[in-house]
Structure formats: structure tokens, C-alpha cells
Structure 1
């Protein structure tokens, strides 16, 4: 038994209460209580007491065509169909309601099936079934998007491609010609004037509507909102018109796996990966993801085998930064190139605001802006300012914001959405004040020029309004320039279980201007400025196209290594030091340097994993290969540094080796860790490989003791159709003890109230999802509808976490 946290601890937690309501419709009823099953392995938890229809992905023991091929075996589509049919027939004999949706055989062997959740135990006992995975929801990895009007658009706005060196590659004759890139996304507007050159008669495939016209979702679709994400991604790769992408002469194929509203599920994503490989794509881009930090999913398996088949797979790393362990699938893939987002060099401005004599706002700083011109336009003018609460659309109703400044409180939803709502209401700027003590982060690319203040200065502004002083003026001045930086929203690694460094590389992902559909044939030129790791990934996919044109004999590992080996190390301006490996990966890509590198070090990063022995010495071995691309013999030297040179970590390798021109040589090295001399934690180092003129830095990490990954990364709650409720949590490493508690919520103070009761206690719960069904009762009494705090306690590996979430019972 564990000791329940004290009442004092619970009250202290109110400060850090996560005000989030999770709605995981794609997962509801799709996970179950932990149980040991006799045949197949079950990933996630599925509530077997529920009869709700649930879709899962089934992996067969019979190997896929590509997996068998790379294991030296012969496999055919016909044989797989026969084996798959046996399993399906057996399953439908046991579960008459089982409905087969999609079947896979090329890079993944299996099928997706919808069946009642309480019938899944029967599925797990069917001979030939290897594993069952939840059909998780994937969404586009974008955090803000703004359409750019034709009047405001300028080709110079697309400056991220030249920044990574694409223009130098173009001058050398490398434009992506002859290389095919698959865009696995929301579809693509292949009629866009800047994109139609990249498509042939065959455009790709629509897995949402099951046809050969993978267009974006148009406005008015009754199933959900229109989309433009895939077109923006495609333009970053290969636009060639008013916008010029990284590889303007590449060929594109579009696979629509995310439908109305920009969301979709595993079954379509796997199908898109498989079809892209079969259609002959050289590269695939997946600017999509979820928040599950786990490498062992059907999507990751499909990507790993796609890479084995010679298709360079590029994925976004996610937008859940800036904390470690926030990378989500498929960015967690062992083989695919995962991409973090950077902000291009930018100018920093100071800001002063004035409302009346004697009132000062020392915390006022520029938070974000759409353009320097719009920011500086606030100078020399006096504006009315209007308080709009949290800045929801309804908070603007009945208030005149035209040409005014919106005063907004932080809280409950994204800063970028608050600024967008202000712009939609006619505001020319915004001031967002904090809702707790301290300073909130900068957010580049806000829809209107936005100033941030502390809570104390925000309260002064509110007092000014109360006193009738409702005007504000600004003094905004240039301060200094900042170099390329990692975007705060960009997800960080490592990956749980494999302990790999992610992202692999970074690329521009803030305020990226590219193509979007207009859904208007009379005015087809649509452009927008988006930000997110979704925007960073296609820079890398386009760069890979340039590399393959320049070096057509390179395999996927060499493309990945070239991008990682030549990436630019980025400096955090807040510390003056390099960003950690799990923040920037190997660094920001420089495509022309990658094309011209004379050495390839593969793989481009290493993890030694965990050292769990107490007060003992342990040795682990790793290796990498060096390929000499030059026309003469090269002598390479090695140096390995761990940050801070900690006593207790010793790396042993060769001092020097000679590699003949055009040859590859393996280099072995050992790391010896004496845990008696080291504090538990995460240690990162750099392997430096030098030929005397070029030095390649290979990131490496190791963990002493149980890694500090978050034991819980989120929770969700919602109503079932039968009057009960689904309750669940995300557990990257599973849990030895798991408990769900309910508390009252004091809405007036935003704090946790009285303890109401425990609604579920579980032990030995597997990773990464747990879900159970709750009848809505506590101590035998039905809990009234309303807002409550769901607190989740997790214990794993001697580490405990207790987190609180605001939920609504209705």
C-alpha cells in the first residue's frame, strides 16, 4: 500500500492545477484494464466491461512482405491474404459483430477491425494474432495558422528555404528533380497554381473518402471543418510559383489520411504509409502526431519498415514543449527522422506602455507580433483598450474593439487563439496579463501585436479602466537581434523505453509562409503563415529530396546521417550555451553542407540507455560507422565529452583510424559508468569525429538510475452513451500503483476543494494508456453533475506523481 498524499500537499497542488478537459473520443471505450493474455500482446488498456464499438489494429504473426524480405525470407501478397483470411474467419466465428475495415500486407502485416470492446479478449486468443494496438487519434502538428491576403503577400516572405541553404543547392543544379515526395496529411490542393506542376495524372489516394482525388476537406462538409494543412506542407516541400519550396522541382503524391477538422486515426495513417511505399515514393512526410511518448505503435512499425525499404520517412516531433519527454508518436519512431521547430533570427524590441501619470508597468514586454511593421505602427498613437476577460469569442460579443487594444487574461486556452480572436473582433493589438505570479513566455507569430505583463501590472490596467482611464499608448524600440532559436512549443525527447534522443534534427517552423487552398477556382492563389513542427518537417523532407538528387546512391541512413552530421548547433540566448540534445537534436539542418559533406557518421546520435545498478560499475558497448566520401584516404580522430566532465563516466575508443577513399569502417567504443560516483539523472555527451578540417559532432546520452520521465502525461474523462463515464490516463512507463480521486472544485478561487472519494484503484498497469468505466457514484451515491477535480496518483520505479485535472460531469 502507498501513503496517500497529505491534505496540505493537496492544497499546495492547487497552485499547479492543470485546467484541462480531455475529450478522447477516438480512445473512449478503446482501452482496457490490465490483464495478462495467453496469446497476443495487448498495447494499452481496454475496458472489457464496455460493449461500445471499438476499432483496434491487429498485427499478425505472419511477417509483412518487407519485413520478410529484410529477414531473408520469401513472402507474397497471396500467402499473406490466405493467412489473414484464416485469422479473420476465426475471429468472425467467435465475434459475429467484428467488422474488418482495412487490411495491410506490405510494411505492416494485419488489419483494422471494429468490434465490441468486451469481445477483444476473444480476439487476443485467435491463433495467428501477434499484437493488438489501439486505433489512436492523430491530428495535424500546427499551433497557429493565419491566411495572408493577396494584398499583403510577398514572395520574400518565404525566406526559410534560403536560410537552410536551399538556394545554394539550386545554384549547384539540385532542385529535387526526379525525386518523389509523399505528403501523408489532410490531402493537398493539387490544382493550386504553385503546386500543379508537381503532380502527374496520378495524384495519390484519399483514405477518408476512398477515391483517387486526395483533395483537402472543403468548407461546408457536414462531417467537420475545412482543412488546408496538407497544402501548406506540400508547398514548403515543392511549391514553384509565387512561393518556392525547398525542392521546387520534386514530384508530389498526396495521401489524405486526416479528414474533416484535420484529425484521423491509426488505421488510415498506416494505410497511407503502406500505399506511399508501394507507389514508389522516395520520401514521405508525416506532419501529424499525438502526445503518446511510446515507440511501439503500429504507425512506428510501419515507418521503420518503410525506412528499411529505402523510403526516407520524416515526421514532426510534436508541439507539446518546452519540457522534456513531450515527444509523441510517430516522432518516437526508432528509424524515421523526427524534426523539431526553430524560429529564424529575429529582432527583439523593448516596450513601454502608458495610461496615466503616476502609473507604471515595469513588466511590459513584447510577446509576439505578425510583422515588425504592425508592431511599430502602435508607436505615436493613443488607443482605447477594452477588457475582454479570457478572450473567448463570446467575451468580445457586444463590445466595440474596432481599432482598439484588447486587454486579456492568460488562462484556459492558447495565447495564439486569444490574439486571433482579438484580430477577428477588429482589435489592432492586445495586452495579455498573467493569471499567476511571474512572466509568461514569448509566442512569435501572434495575429496582432501583443504586449505581455505580469498579474500585478494587469491588475493596474484593470484599475485604470475602473477609474475611467481607458486609453493606452506605446513606446516600442529595437533592442537587439537574436539568432536562430528553438521554438518553445517544439516537443522534446527522450523517448521512453528506447531512451533515444529526439528530435533528430530541427528546421524552421515559426511563421512559415506557404500555399493553402482557397476552394475558389476563380481565385486559386491562397497563402498562409503557419507555425508548428508540422512546418519544420517538410523543410527536412524537401532537403532530403535535394540530397537524393545530388547523391542518388545514398540509402536512408546516409541521408539521415548527412542531415544530422552537418546540422548547425544552436545557442540558447537565455543561457549563452548550446541547447540540450533532446531540445535541438543534432541541430538545425544546412542542406548545402549536407550535400557536400566528405564524411558520413552513422547513426547520427546514440543512447547508452540506463545504468540501474546501485553503487557499481557497469560497461555498455556501442558502435558507429564512418564512410569516407572523399577521393583520398582520411585519418580520423575521436574525442568524447560528457557535459561537466562528470567523474564516474569513462568512454573508451580508438584514438585514430584510417579509412580508405570510398570505404566504410566500423568504430567500437565502450562507456564505463560507476554509479557510486554519480547522482541519479540524465547525462548527455558529444562524440567528436574529426578529419583535421571537418569535425562532426554526434549527440549521445545515458541515464543513471530510473529515468525521470513523467509517470503520467495526461488524463481524460467523458460520458458514455449508457449513462456511465470513461476515465483514463496516459502512462508512458505504466504504473505499479494507479489511483483516481475526485475532489470538489472551488471555481471562485480556482483551487481544489474537499476530497470526495476514490473512484478507482489499480495495480501493475501496462503502458501507455489506462482506461476504466465508472458508474458515476461515490460511496454508493450518484455524484451531482458539475465541475470537479480528477486527481491521478501514479507510482512506478520508486517515483510517485500526483496530478490534478479539471473535468466536467454531465
Structure 2
């Protein structure tokens, strides 16, 4: 989904980069972090480069104990444990540094505390080796165990901030960030944060993160797993239409200079699975409760699979749903909803079921809380689409009371497998935290796969286990790995020297501007809110193919986002500027356009709610380049190339026929883009102009500043005034799409997420609706968001 393999094919594997993971520690004995396999990968790289290993390693400038020693007195590690040396902190080539900040020790594994294997899973996503040692040789990790880090040849710096003394404390992870920067980390990953909305409260730590723009380090932080604020209210996930705050992005992800990451569901699944007919299903399994692993049902030799009968009901897994149905020794499938997950499992197990499988009733995966489950029978969850496919492959049956249920046989495997879920749409994870913070900044800022991610299990004995986890904790290390790949690409191509920008600035610019904005299937194909996805899905293949980079005015650290603030007078006019910088020695033409939208509003009875879906805004957008209006609209009359008094596609065809020699003369100049030449490129530019787009030419190795003005027509403002009386979000994306080359090649499109607010940002109330007095006098009869336990609605 992030196309890391495209970068690997070009030789960008993270070699020579350093990724610091600030988390619960690392299983240092796990095969995916083995030093010998890491060394083998670098030897393979050296061979491909036609270099000796010594010369190649010197070029990489790997972190070693000598470098750590040289920096030691500048590190907070030295303040906490002055007796330690570089030799103590350096483990090997792969695990280049390990320190426990919370306990001030060298204990960085999961063996001596109850903080869990989270850190190993996170580290595996970003840095798990691409080779595994097998006997006397090495095999592909992706083929052997289906796990390979995004930047597999990066060195891993383990900075443990959860330990015997608890964690994670701000005082520990902030100094760990500072140490990581001092140690030359290209990316720092923090898959942690507060569960509630957070902002920079500590001035010292805020200054530390503000200073990041002067470094080459990208600090990647998970946005959080709290969904939207309204998810925990009486209104079933929606705000009333006079509300605006969906924000649940926690600290430190809410800090300005962190790169906050949202989660999208994995389009494929890797892990333990079962099969129904030809359909493999990788399930999500929650551990740490009474439930045994689903894989324990496979009693075959060699994990070749065990056939078990199953029953599927359309209901929610209540006792009534199973009346007249024999569940003994069978796996039971039931729908999410109505009752809690542990109640579904308790009912099925009490009736003799071998396991419970809960299929989702909406898009996305489920993380089930099984607190309260009293049995040991396995309980797992699957996708809504998988539940529907299993039902379709089953045989319908009826109880004596006439209730329809479905039966069949499934094969449960003890080994891992892969299943792919092809779709025209991606699905944002429902647990992924919404923005935006109180300062109207755009958080989260980018999206990566975080739902159903298969990576290292650092807690299981033996160092060969893997498991599935979900969360923005899994999305953030994807971006940390991509940041390392970007850093390697930028350095090896001399882009920092060429542009005068830092590696961090370029990495963040290219990551965000080449991200893929996502659309929501459930809404009919409208955009996901920028409050949910930021710039969109990170795509490293696009990053490396881009022929230019974008800097947005007012974003000094390279982040590509337009934060427009509020519009207290409701003018409906929003402006910002950005600069396109050409990295090539040829002029580049871009077609400029914009899509604006806002949160939709819907009615339930007489009550209006702000939707989580978006709806388009018919805004007028104009562009100027270096202060000069860009050709569009009426100016097209200059290109009536066939002399028929109109400018349309026929003129582009006339130009092409002219270039082929089938038309002797053009009625007017065919140099549409003004580069002094007449070629097929001009026909592409003319077609873009005819589509209502504005075109701008960026000179070779040059730049053009583009000013954008977006204006809401009076009818749109009147709609917003009525639908959202306290104000509405103005969201969107501004696009700079390369005009196809003369031979028809289409380059990488830049997109800029836009966020503003129509109205006064301070006008929506921070308090709940419907006080007791308002209810008493009938001035507001809506259900309060947070209904007190003692309150009884009458």
C-alpha cells in the first residue's frame, strides 16, 4: 500500500539510516533483528554496488560504539547512568543502541516487566531484516515468514520508556527524542500518547520540538486510537450541527513539529488463518484474556489444517439466535452489535461451541475487549466482507421455528497465511483519532496502514514468533520507515545540497505532497475528511518519482498543508501560497485545480447532526503565478486554432493534425504554454485548460510561487449559515498535476490538504447541550452528549 518494495527495487532499503523506536523495548534475540542477517544484507548491497564490504560500510557511516563514546557526554543517557560507555550501549550492527530511560538501565527487552511486546512489533514494522538466517545460509524474510520492515537495512536504536517503574513519562520520552537527534537518527518513532486530546503544555518540551526544524530528523508520532470525540457520547458518533470538535489526537502527536499519523486498514492480512472453501481468512485475535489461540484448533501434524463444522447466524450471538441450533463442537459466526464481544463469546461457549468468530457490521477491523469472558474457547473477529463471503458459500438451514441459519465446514490452520481484500477504496480505521486541535492546525497529517498489521512478537519464547496488532501505533512506524527511505534517497541523490533544504524538510515535503488522498466508499465516493486522513496515504514510490517539491508559505519545516484559520466575518474567501520547485533541467507544466468540501449535515427526525461524511462545496478557485494571473477562462479564446470561433477539443485535435502534417496552417499560435515551441505538449496543456484547470510552467531548475484564492459563492454561504449555524469546516485538496509529456507520460501529482473554518472558531460552545434549565423551559430538548448516571430522560 505504501509501495516500499518499489523503493527496494531501486536500491533504497534504508541502508545507512538510523531509526530510533521509543517504546516498550525490543526482543534482542528475535530472528528479525539478528545482526548476522543484517550484515548479510549489507554484503549483498556492497556486491550490487561493485564495492568491498569495508568500503561500502564506510560509505554508510554506521553507528558504532566509538561514535556513541564520542557523543556520550552530550546524551541524557550519561546524566542518568554516568558509568555506562559506548561498549555498554552498543549491541551490534543492527541493534546499534539500547537504553532503558525509565529504569536507568541496560534492560531493554520485555522479559522483566509487564509492559508487553508492543515495542518489538513497532520496531519490526519499520526495521525488521529482509533476510533470515536458516542453517548455513540466508533466506528472504518476506517469503519465509511474511515479515520485512519498511526500511529493513536501517539500524535500530531501542529507547525503552516503559519498564519496571511504569511509563511512558513525558520526562523520559522527550529526553529520548533529544538523544536520538544527537545520535543522528533519521527518524524517531513514538507509538504512544495520551488517550484524550492534548496540546503542548510544557514550555521546555515545546521548545525542544520547535527546534526540530533545525535538524535532519523526522519525529513520527501516532495520532491515537480514540476515534472521534462523539464516539463515546449518547449521539452514536455524531455531533449536533452546532458542534465542531471531533478532536481526540493526543499529546505528543498534537505538538506542531511532530508528524502525526492516522491509520488506514491493511488491504491484505497476514497471520494465522482459516479457510472456507477457496477463501482464506486471516482473523484478528485479541490476546491476554482467557481465550485460547484459534490456531490451537488445528490438531494436525505439520499444521496442515483441521476441518471443523461451523454455524453462521445473521443475529448478534444472543441465546435467542441459537434456539434450535446445535453448536456443540462447532465454530460459531455471529455479527457485531447489540451485545458486547465477551457476551457473544460467553453465550456460544456455554452452548458448547468450539470457537466464536465475530464478523464486523461495518467496514474495517475490530479490536475486541474480552474482559468478562469466562471460557477458554477461542474468540476472533473478521471483516464484514469476509462474513458476507462465508455466508454466501454456506448452506442454508432452518430451525423448527422457521429461523434460517447457515452451515458448512472450515479448515483451521496453525500456520500463517496471507489474504488480500481487493477494493476500489481504502478504509480508514474506525479507531484512528480525529483532529483538529484547538488551534485549528491540521492533525493528523498523514495516513499509513495500521489496521491488521503482522509483525514481530517479542514476548513469545524462541525469537521466531509473529503476530497481528492494530492501531495508529502500527501506522506510525510505517511512516518512520518511509522517512528513512526518503532520507537515503535524498542523500544519495544530493537533493539537500541541490535545493538548500534540510533532509528533514525535503522528506516531510515529499511525503505529504505525494500522499494519496482517500475517498470513502460508504459515503458514495466522497473524500474522507482531512480531519481524519490529513494529506492521505503515504506513497514512497510517488515520493521518489516526483520531479519537483512543494513548500507551503507559513510551514517552515517542509510540511505540505494549508492551515487557513477561521473566518469570523464569514467572507467565504480563503487564501494561501505555495512554491513549486523544479528538480529537473527541463521546464515542467502543471495543471492546477482544487476540490473543496465540508462535513455533511443530516436530519434524524427534527434534529440536525454534523456527519462524519463529507459533501462537496462548489467554490470558485483562482490562481496567480509570481503575482500574474494564470491563463484560464476567457483567455482561451487566443487558442482558436481551427478558426471556427470556438475553443474546444477540436482545436487540440487540429494542433495534433498540424504536427502530423495533415493541416498546413494554424489560425493562431499553437504555443499554448509559451515555451517558444509548438509540439504535442501544447495540445495536452490546451486540454487541461479546457477542463477548467489552470496551467503554470515551472522553469528548469527554477521555481514558481502560486497564490491560491478560494471563494465560496453566496448560495454556498447561505447553505452553511443554515446547515451549520455555529460555523463549518472548509476542507479540501489543491492539486498540481503534471501535464502529460509529449510522449504521453504522466508524472507525479502534488496535493496540498486544506483546512479552514467558515465562521468564528470561538463561537461553538465548549459545553454540553441541554442543561437542566434548558430542558425545563424547553429552549433545548436535545439529549446531552454526556448523560450523567443520575439523570433520567423523561
Cα deviations by residue, 1:496-520 (Å, 9 ceiling, x for unpaired): 2332333322211122111122464
Structure-1 residue corresponding to 2:222? 316
Distance 2:266 2:309 in 1: 30
Partner of 1:560: 508
Residue 308 of structure 1 and its aligned partner are, at CA, apart by 3.4
> Secondary structure at the residue paired with 1:662?
coil
**Please, which of 151, 155, 158 is the counterpart of residue 251 of structure 1?**
155
Q: Does structure 1 residue 171 correspond to structure 2 residue 9? A: yes
Q: How far is 1:421 from its partner?
A: 12
Question: What whole-Å deviation, never above 9, does each CA across 1:133-160 have from its counterpart, x for those lacking one?
Answer: xxxxxxxxxxxxxxxxxxxxxxxxxxxx
The 5 Å alignment of 1:45-56 reads: none
Write the distance in 2 (CA, Å) between the matches of 1:203 and 1:426.
51
Q: CA deviation at 1:538?
A: 0.9
Question: Contact 1:429 / 1:450 at 8 angstroms: preserved in 2?
Answer: no
- Describe the shift of the 1:164–1:233 C-alpha distance in structure 2 as closer, same or farther (beyond 3 A): same
Q: Is the partner of 1:594 in helix, strand or coil?
A: helix
Partner residue, 1:430: 356
2:427 paired residue number: 486
Q: Which runs of 5+ in 2 are unaligned?
A: 39-89, 133-140, 142-146, 229-236, 238-245, 270-279, 286-293, 299-304, 320-326, 369-378, 389-397, 411-418, 497-501, 552-558, 598-614, 631-694, 721-726, 741-746
Q: Which has the higher helix share?
A: 2
- The 3 A distance-change label for structure 1 pair 297 and 490 is farther
Question: What is the CA distance between 1:408 and its match in structure 2?
Answer: 8.8
Deviates more, 1:536-545 or 1:593-602: 593-602
Is structure 2 residue 185 aligned with structure 1 residue 276?
Answer: no
Instruction: In structure 1, list runs of 5 or more residues that go unmatched.
Output: 1-162, 348-365, 392-399, 455-463, 712-733, 742-757, 759-790
Q: Which structure has the larger Rg over C-alpha atoms?
A: 2
Residue 286 of structure 1: how far off its partner (Å): 1.0
Deviation at 1:316, TM superposition (A): 1.3
Shift of 1:310: 2.3
How far did residue 606 of structure 1 move?
1.1
1:327 pairs with one of 229, 239, 249: 249
Q: What is the alpha-carbon distance in structure 1 between the residues aligned to residue 349 and residue 182 of structure 2?
A: 45
The aligned residue for residue 638 of structure 1 is 592
Q: Superposed, which structure 2 residues align to 1:281-680 within 5 Å?
A: 281-298=185-202, 302-321=208-227, 324-345=246-267, 369-370=283-284, 381=309, 403-405=330-332, 410=337, 428-430=354-356, 443=365, 448=380, 473=407, 481-483=422-424, 485-518=426-459, 520=461, 523-552=462-491, 553=496, 554-574=502-522, 575-602=524-551, 603-613=559-569, 617=571, 621-643=575-597, 646=617, 651-654=622-625, 655=630, 657-672=696-711, 677=718, 679=720, 680=727
**Residue in 1 that maps onto 2:787:** 804
Calculate the TM-score normalised by the size of structure 2: 0.56
**How far is 1:174 from its partner?**
0.9
Q: Distance in 2 between matches of 1:535 and 1:421?
A: 32
User: Which is strand-richer, 1 or 2?
Assistant: 1
Displacement after TM superposition at 1:807 (Å): 9.8
Q: Secondary structure at the match of 1:625?
A: strand
Separation of aligned partners in 1, 2:511 and 2:535: 9
Q: Could you say if the C-alpha distance between residues 259 and 806 of structure 1 is closer, same or farther in structure 2, counting changes exceeding 3 Å?
A: farther
Q: 1:261 to 1:180 in 2, by over 3 A?
A: same
- Spell out, residue by residue over 1:105-160, the C-alpha distance to the aligned partner (whole angstroms, 9 max, x if none): xxxxxxxxxxxxxxxxxxxxxxxxxxxxxxxxxxxxxxxxxxxxxxxxxxxxxxxx
Secondary structure of the 1:173 match is coil
Q: Name the counterpart of 1:229.
A: 118
Q: Which residue of 2 aligns with 1:207?
A: 101
Structure 1 residues 386-417: Cα deviation after superposition (integer angstroms, max 9, x where no partner): x99999xxxxxxxx9865438798578668x9
Distance 1:176-1:209 versus aligned 2 partners, 3 A rule: same
Q: Secondary structure at the match of 2:168?
A: strand
Q: TM-score, normalised by structure 1?
A: 0.55
Maintained 8 Å contact 1:683/1:701: yes
Q: Deviations over 1:359-388 (max 9, x none)?
A: xxxxxxx9993499999x999935599x99
Aligned to 1:361: none
Cα distance in 1 for residues equivalent to 2:733 and 2:187: 29
How far did 1:494 drift?
3.2
